[in-house]
Homo-oligomer: A and B are copies of this chain.
Amino acid sequence: MAGVDQPGFKGRTSHMETELSYKRKPSTVSEMQQKKFSHLERKAYKRKIREEKLLAEMRKQKAIRKEKEEKEKAEKEQKELKERCGRPYTVAIAVPGSILDNAQSLELRAYLAGQVARAAAVFNIDEIVVFDENYNAKQDASEFSGLRRSDRGNTQLFHILQYLECPQYLRKAFFPYHKDLVHAGLLNPLDTPHHLRETDASEYREGVTLDKPVKSGKGAYANVGLKKDVILNMAVPPGQRVTVKLTEQTTEKKNLRGEVVSPSEPRETAGLYWGYTVRLAGSLSHVFKSSPHPGGYDLTIGTSERGQDVSSVDLPRFNHAIIVFGGLKGLEASVEADDATQTDDPSEIFQHYVNVCPKQGSRTIRTEEALLIAMSSLSPKIKWAHAGQTS
């Protein structure tokens, strides 16, 4: 603007600019241009400037307040969305590994483990506990934390469950050849949301960190089952399984970028079923004692044909539920075998002891059948208990 170029005024303006730390309106400058500056006029001008400065500061504060409010509103919306779409609670199941020992062939043994994995996937189970139903504390008193050399059924079930939960593109990295997995190729895939194909679009992906040199302080590379590797936002040693939140779905660059997040984030924020963890428990009591949740399970359900008719059971809202299944001899046998439990009556151990199939037409219900039958009855009750939190 022409007026600003006048000699004797440029310096001042720039002085004032520095002093005020804001850009004056060009109109003010134009007014001043047309004046002769007397002492009084200068004084009045200075006052005017002060007033303007005050007004500007007020406007600035208002803008900051507004920005803060908008940010808070967005955060609140985000939180509400999370509460609406996410699932804050977890559901675990516990099964005795001995069920595998009743299978009629090696192929059917593996298939049975596959059935347990499938049932867990269909019903969004977050944790599977494989427990030893024959554990006897007296016989194994010296044992550390209740974990002992389990029989073959427990370890094989544990092994196959982990294998099936792992996305296909990561199996080579985590599951070298093992005799437990010989028939795993025959098993039905879980087809869960975290078992993604290369062409699937997903904000979250499971990955393995790679042994690939990166600049120091520059994170790590991970294979998440896409053509391009992902550069992570933090350094992770190679060979680790990570849950990655992709910050972009496509890129022109050589690599994608992503953040390492908790494996529970897809469930908590988006309500996505993100597979299950597997845990071995040396006895029925260690199913509860060694819970991964700091407060343990706050809802425990045992299943038995001697339990209460499931249709008459209402479940309370909970954070972490566990549903325990017996083996061939029922939960009664597990309770009796476990000397750490102070009773032989399973109904005393669980908050709810339910019969999931009243009037059954067969004398026995197999554990792999009971899983589907029980979860089918309990799922609506679980959803109902959390109604309002989840849609």
Chain B residue nearest to A383 (CB atoms) is: B359
B376 A123 Cβ-Cβ under 8 A = no
Assembled-state Cα–Cα distance A376/B357 (Å): 7
Selected from B118, B120, B366, the residue in CB contact (under 8 A) with A188 is B366
A121 B362 Cβ-Cβ under 8 A = yes
* Residues in B whose Cβ lies below 8 Å from that of A374: 376
Known contacts A186-B105, A366-B188, A121 near B376 by CB under 8 Å: no
- Flag whether A211 is at the interface (Cβ < 8 A): no
- Flag whether A356 is at the interface (Cβ < 8 A): yes
- Flag whether A380 is at the interface (Cβ < 8 A): yes
The interface centre, meaning the residue of A122, A124, A192 with most chain B CB atoms within 10 A of its CB, is: A122
Chain B residue nearest to A373 (CB atoms) is: B376
- Flag whether A176 is at the interface (Cβ < 8 A): no
B107 A359 Cβ-Cβ under 8 A = no
- Flag whether A221 is at the interface (Cβ < 8 A): no
Assembled-state Cα–Cα distance A125/B185 (Å): 33
Chain A residues 261-287 with CB under 8 Å of chain B are 273
B192 A122 Cβ-Cβ under 8 A = no
- Flag whether A178 is at the interface (Cβ < 8 A): no
Chain A residues 373-391 with CB under 8 Å of chain B are 373-377, 379-380, 383
Assembled-state Cα–Cα distance A379/B366 (Å): 18
- Flag whether A361 is at the interface (Cβ < 8 A): yes
A186 B124 Cβ-Cβ under 8 A = no
- Flag whether A340 is at the interface (Cβ < 8 A): no
* Residues in B whose Cβ lies below 8 Å from that of A192: 361-363
Selected from B123, B365, B369, the residue in CB contact (under 8 A) with A361 is B123
Assembled-state Cα–Cα distance A366/B119 (Å): 10
- Flag whether A190 is at the interface (Cβ < 8 A): yes
Assembled-state Cα–Cα distance A364/B190 (Å): 8
A122 B362 Cβ-Cβ under 8 A = yes
Chain B residue nearest to A271 (CB atoms) is: B359
* Residues in B whose Cβ lies below 8 Å from that of A376: 356-357, 372-374, 376-377
* Residues in B whose Cβ lies below 8 Å from that of A351: none
**A129–chain B nearest beta-carbon distance, Å:** 18
- Flag whether A27 is at the interface (Cβ < 8 A): no
**A100–chain B nearest beta-carbon distance, Å:** 14
Known contacts A372-B369, A376-B373, A122 near B357 by CB under 8 Å: yes
- Flag whether A131 is at the interface (Cβ < 8 A): no
Assembled-state Cα–Cα distance A356/B369 (Å): 16
Chain B residue nearest to A381 (CB atoms) is: B311
- Flag whether A104 is at the interface (Cβ < 8 A): yes
Mark contacts of A67-107 with chain B using CB atoms, 8 A cut-off: 1 yes-contact digit, 0 otherwise: 00000000000000000000000000000000000001101
B191 A122 Cβ-Cβ under 8 A = no
* Residues in B whose Cβ lies below 8 Å from that of A364: 191
Assembled-state Cα–Cα distance A364/B118 (Å): 10
B361 A122 Cβ-Cβ under 8 A = yes
Assembled-state Cα–Cα distance A273/B363 (Å): 11
Assembled-state Cα–Cα distance A366/B335 (Å): 33
Selected from B105, B193, B361, the residue in CB contact (under 8 A) with A124 is B361
* Residues in B whose Cβ lies below 8 Å from that of A311: 380
Selected from B107, B357, B359, the residue in CB contact (under 8 A) with A105 is B107
Selected from B105, B107, B108, B191, the residue in CB contact (under 8 A) with A362 is B191
Assembled-state Cα–Cα distance A311/B383 (Å): 11
* Residues in B whose Cβ lies below 8 Å from that of A365: 122
Chain B residue nearest to A120 (CB atoms) is: B361
* Residues in B whose Cβ lies below 8 Å from that of A369: 118-119, 122, 372
**Can you give 5 A-B contacts (C-beta < 8 A)?**
A105-B107, A107-B108, A108-B108, A372-B372, A374-B376
